[in-house]
Structure 1
Amino acid sequence: MLSEKSSATVRATLPAVGAAIGDIAELFYTKLFAAHPALIRDLFNRGNQRAGLQQQALAGSVAAFATHLLAHPDTRPDVMLGRIAHKHASLGVTRGQYAVVHQHLFEAIAEVLGEAVTPQVAQAWDEVYWLMANALIALEERLYAEQRVAAGDVWREWTVTERVAETADCTTFRIVPADGAPAPAHRPGQYVSVQVELPDGARQIRQYSLITSPGSAVRAITVKRVHGPAAAGPDGEVSNHLHTRVRTGDTLRVSAPYGDLVLADSAAPVLLASAGIGCTPMLSMLEHLADTGHAAPVTVLHADRSPADHPLRGDHRALTHKLPDASAWFWYEESAEPGDGEGLMDLSAVPLAPGTRAYLCGPLPFMRAVREQLIARGVPAADIHYEVFGPDLWLASA
């Protein structure tokens, strides 16, 4: 809870801080990486940094947290905090790193806002920062304890046992722990971080959903190669490295599984909606439903450019057919086959069982559109759960 004195100061200065927070974030990262170059080389996503996306994420999360404290002083934005904490845990973020961030962030605030940062203003925003930081630290340490690892020590070597080309741009990597020990438990829908050493020596990290159910003997991830302007730069460097360099028998450095978009243990009807590579966490959920013989209706929805671009399309159908009361509905922008929809996902003809719990994954505009359709069909907002990847985790609370 923000103190009464600080609340008044934050409320008065939030418009000015909000207007400048993009400049603050940019200067913060410049200072942080100048003092700690290993962070941009081995922890932060270089592609997001070059595109300015990480700066937007920091600005968005701090502003969203402060706004929530003012509007709801007795609560915290736990959805946003939980999602960020899972991401941080998958990266191995530790308590000490928050003090480093604090130092450079507040230097940036003072430099950008100048004389407007009085001792009272600095103290109020310091309180906001540490309320957010301490909440994240507590959540992250709890997540480490649940995986029975020391804080930050999430990495293990895994061996690639098989790679399968799913589409022209998507490849599945089946992996097992290199030391022969059991794979850590995961819940349907969770992801792992994968760290690879690139030709320039950087050890970049990206997150990929596990496509297999918790009961599977092996784990697997499906990686989509990033094309376009990003392919020549950092945004696509890890996916392209995995596609072009990693073969059966190679080892990967993989984190413990994390992620808070998980299939609830419930007998309720389930709807799984995805677009593009967003089908990967849905496949883990679908396989788990098939493994456990889920008896209630299951509705599987997917949208893609074409059937040839639809990763794991055969698995999508095969797992649906294993369930006693399930149906699959696919939409394609081009080359739709008989029985498939054309264009964008349209739920108007899709039967929805009462009490349906919905899970969404895909580009943010897709999820917003599907969420609006579900709400219009009577599905309560509380029963619609969605995954936001990349630097936009703070949007999970939007």
Structure 2
Amino acid sequence: MRSSRNRTLARGAVGLGLAPLLLAAAVLPASAAPGPQGPPPHANEDQSYGQAKKNGLRTVAPDDLVIGTAAAGGGHHVTAGYPDPFTYDRQYRRILNAEFSSVSPENQMKWEFLEPERGQYNWGPADAIVENAERNGQAVRGHTLLWHSQNPAWLTEGVASGEIDDTELRQILEDHIRTVVGRYAGRIDQWDVANEIFTDEATPRLRPENFWIQELGPGIIADAFRWAHEADPQATLFLNDYAVEHIGPKSDAYYALAQDLLAQGVPLHGFAVQAHLSFEYSFPTSLQENLQRFDDLGLETAVTELDVRMPVAEGGPTEAQLEQQADWYQQALEACLGVEECNSFTIWGFTDKYSWVPYFFEGTGAANVMFEDYERKPAYWALHETLAAAQD
């Protein structure tokens, strides 16, 4: 029996039995959408959207679980040779709205994209995602606040040169967290506050490249949670990382950190595993057990960035690869469903058309649950059937 207590869903409509009504409004009106809309949808677009609207993932998911995806945009998409996906691709947006009850900005809330110049915020893309989610009854996960990567040049160069001293750096972080979280207070359900703070070594340590921690000390992690909580007391605040799906040194480091933060009274509410899986490695079979031990600490848990990449030959993935991928997606979902307070399950994009994987892992791809033309893979149907079975 899964718990009915869910801070994430308490502020959304999905867990209140309103999904069928909200899906009726899943198309983003042209007058409300940012940017050009392109040509009218083709027949196959309408068919794909209609299918999702009637029986998409969000319609078959249990009431106490939001099923989410990343909203493509920012990051590598800026130079990928096509217009910003979320803004310009109506077909993409329609299917996202019909299929998913939660959305995470893929890059649009990362620091380099949100505050490219000091004190000058680029709110438009992030606002568009939040507003679209509100129109379509979707929860929003904020991503991310304290991270060593994708920071703007004015910040990283200022720290490296000594132009920004420790006192000013601390104030910059506090101002950014309070400004961003405060802007979306009451509108963003979960935040990845501290992201990827441990190394991947046999004996993990706090990342030396994380200048926040190296310059300001480990105590800045607790401060970041406190500032975020003060800016929005309703939001659920998470630690988030990759390669922490199984029980091992890195997840052990997070377990110890979580215990320490909770003992200090820090407003830490959840632990999230990204779950960027690859056929290069084995499936993390201790995933459910690992999530459960954080649940036992009183934390919510979440799968936040699931994809399953594979080596891809010229002819595309084989039937055997697609079957293995479907099995891994299903196992990950079943692990979350088996933990009482695993209330949020997010896949990192849903179509290979806009996947980040080929840009960062050469020779691999096909990591998402739909092909580039939005045809649903076996992985999609594995999620669909598992979600539907969980309602019984």
Instruction: From the CA coordinates, give the structure whose radius of gyration is larger.
Output: 1
Name the one with the larger strand percent.
1
TM-score (norm 1): 0.31
TM-score (norm 2): 0.32
